[in-house]
Structure 1
Amino acid sequence: MAKLVATGGVATCLAVCLAVCLAACQASPGGPERLDSPPSTARVSPATATATPATSTRRPMSAEAQAQLDQELILAAKANNVSLVGDLIDRGGNVNAKDAIQDSAFLYAGAEGFNEVLQLTLAAGADVRSTNRFGGTALIPASEHGHVDTVRILIAAGVPVNHVNNPGWTALQEAILLNDGGPRQQDVVRQLLDAGADPGIRDPQGRTALENAERLGFSAIAGLIRGR
């Protein structure tokens, strides 16, 4: 009798559990949610997904205002004020404009070896063939002064290496005649020769670059020229 009661109790429990499970399934007809289901994502309208690029327009300046801005740019270049040069260029300063002694921001930066300013002027469209009051390109005084990195920048920018200035000298001649023939000048001469400088061009006295190097006792430079 005890076994029968126990068996009946178990059957009752099973019936109750079955009823609970059936009720749960009816409450969730779609079945249990998959754990690996990807999360839902909201659709983004193409109109909101693509930002409209900002545009800026520069008001045209009067000739007087432009001239003033250009002179400020030249003064900033002569002071080697890199940040101000960049600002003035952004405001419309012309890197090819010249002052009363025919210096432009580009020409002055090249002559003095102000390389950061020089790079800004080149990026802003500097005329690499422009000349100073001596009829020389930026490469000629840069070579004379032994600005090794500046010479490299100017050659890469396309400044003509065989241009002859009003006194009758090329960059190669000035690199020899107007400095000490030391290591920096040797580096400059090497760069110029590699870029196609012609050592056979004669100065107003009729001397070649080699003859001037030998006359001045610059044996290392003379050796560089002979090796070409």
Structure 2
Amino acid sequence: MRTAQTGAISRRVAVGVFAAIALAACAPAEPPAVPAAPPAPAEQQQQQPAPERAPNPAADQQLLRAADDGDLDQVRAALATGANVESRDDHQRTPLLLAALADHVDVARELVKAGADPDAQDYRRDSAFLVTGVTGSVGMLEALLPANPDFALTNRYGGTALIPAGEHGHVEYVRAAVKTGIDINHVNDPGWTALLETVVLGDGSERYQEVTRLLVDAGADVNIRDRNGLTALQHAERNGYPKIAEILRSAS
């Protein structure tokens, strides 16, 4: 009797052990530990913006005066002490515009290197690049080109820099400007192109004849009419400019 009971107990123990082993085999495996991601390299971490430079009104005024006077050393000194290269005077003129108006080419180059905007306009809508068409300064034009001026920017008359250059008969400037990609046939608010202004507002002298030739050779459209329906050729004939008229006829 004892032997039978002992055997039964042994069988029950064995069954229990077998069941425990079977349950352990069916249990889901413990997922492997995932290693922590390494920290991002320093260059990939978000950089804090550089603190803005505190305004320095005294340095700004120094820069404006120096640019107007053409004092390159003072321009550099003002920039070194924190002057804002885009500071404005009472007429909203920037240092670069003041330098362009006075044709201080070396100063303009320095300001361009400092990031000056050649398209910043004053209260009369003049910009550093636009006024080169009035002054006729090829040196200033070339000094501003590295700053990528907007050749389509217009003045208070709706004209590009090339139009006043034609009006004033700036031969060498026109020779340089037509190579920049500026729109030769742009029409301003009064309805004139550079070619029309050359004929209408010029005096027919040799320099205006040369400007006419340069514009025609660069692709100026001689058939554009002004608001009165007149072409540059008709204006030349009316004004008694036979040599300009001859240039225009040959291009018609």
Partner in structure 2 of residue 105 of structure 1:
128
In structure 2, distance between residues paired with 1:137 and 1:165: 8
8 A contact 2:85–2:95 mirrored in 1:
no
Matched, 1:80 2:103: yes
Q: 1:72 to 1:199 in 2, by over 3 A?
A: same
Partner in structure 2 of residue 28 of structure 1:
none
Q: Which 5+ residue runs of structure 2 have no aligned equivalent?
A: 1-49, 58-83
Matched, 1:131 2:154: yes
Matched, 1:67 2:90: no
In structure 2, distance between residues paired with 1:91 and 1:192: 34
Partner in structure 2 of residue 197 of structure 1:
220
* AA aligned opposite 2:96: L
In structure 1, distance between residues paired with 2:51 and 2:172: 37
Q: What is the number of equivalent residue pairs in this alignment?
A: 171
In structure 1, distance between residues paired with 2:51 and 2:211: 44
* AA aligned opposite 1:224: I
Matched, 1:182 2:205: yes
8 A contact 2:178–2:184 mirrored in 1:
yes
Q: Which 5+ residue runs of structure 1 have no aligned equivalent?
A: 1-57
* AA aligned opposite 2:86: A
1:62 Cα offset (Å): 7.8
RMSD: 2.1
* Structure 1 stretches of 4+ moved >6 Å: 58-64
Partner in structure 2 of residue 213 of structure 1:
236
1:61 Cα offset (Å): 6.2
TM-score, L = length of structure 2: 0.64
Partner in structure 2 of residue 96 of structure 1:
119
* AA aligned opposite 2:147: A
Identity within the alignment, %: 46
Give 1:158-169 correspondences, 5 Å limit. Answer: 158-169=181-192
1:171 Cα offset (Å): 0.5
1:159 Cα offset (Å): 0.8
1:96 Cα offset (Å): 1.2
Partner in structure 2 of residue 114 of structure 1:
137
